[in-house]
Structure 1
């Protein structure tokens, strides 16, 4: 009897979560098929049947990370009532994501695939694009604030976006290296103070 029609003997969402943990800790190239199948509790044929390839599994795991573990970072930025509160929420959410107890430290997107062999260039470019999305989103937030009169008209929105994206990514690296939540929280305060100085913010929460 062909195995094509047989139902899977595992929960796809559950094994994807386990694969995400492996990639989050070890990166794409640092994770072997043995690492993945052992953590996922399935064999290689089942992995390929469910996900297609290691690369496809990794990219799906990264998207899963973005929609679950890292979701609060974007949500905090987009849903806060003021720009400054959104920036603060984003940075504190980044700390929360990067310092979860019992999980890999740092952000899978910030740390993932910054160096890849030529044959894995697609993976590097996908992660680069995801990191750029944060910077582009920040730039749009700053541009909107300028248009609404919340920031001075001469504000350098591109540099502000790059600065805050760099802080987010730096939080991830420092967390992976063992920085505590208290230490990273101090970084957030410095970043917000720099924002206030650089923009002479008119946001109602700017002096909070």
Structure 2
């Protein structure tokens, strides 16, 4: 098991080294696409939205299972993606959220093959785009629009939550707020209300 974990961590660092802020996931998507092909997965594609999908075939007639991990990060393109290795910890921008989750998609494939586990239905692996912030879950919305209710379940892998299972959905409402106020500079307009004061 430790060898598998090492492989997943090593892959997570490779993924993390490819900048992928929301709306700029293309290079990371190409990398994942090549990995899925290299693993011999079936029906590998990048959909019209930019998600990368691959099918791990099962035996039997059970509905497919969708397992996804988002590729995008909150870090801008110019972020230094240096990684620091400790004795038991590794640090790097976007590593836990969510390069580790994406790497775990491949770790799942390796683990199933190593243990020769036959699943009762197909598993669709999805590396989706635009999960963070203004991405508004666009990638995952496209996945759900495509598969709908014809699946057994949707599972989402988050690198910071590996080892934990959350069995209820989290509701999300996102708003875009524009405020036009006098505002001003914190030094030259000191003492006058700021845009934040006006919003409050």
Q: What is the TM-score when the length of structure 1 is the normalising length?
A: 0.25
Greater RCO, 1 or 2 (C-alpha within 8 Å, sep 6+): 2
Q: Answer 1 or 2: which has greater strand percent.
A: 2
Q: What is the TM-score when the length of structure 2 is the normalising length?
A: 0.26
Q: Answer 1 or 2: which has greater helix percent.
A: 1
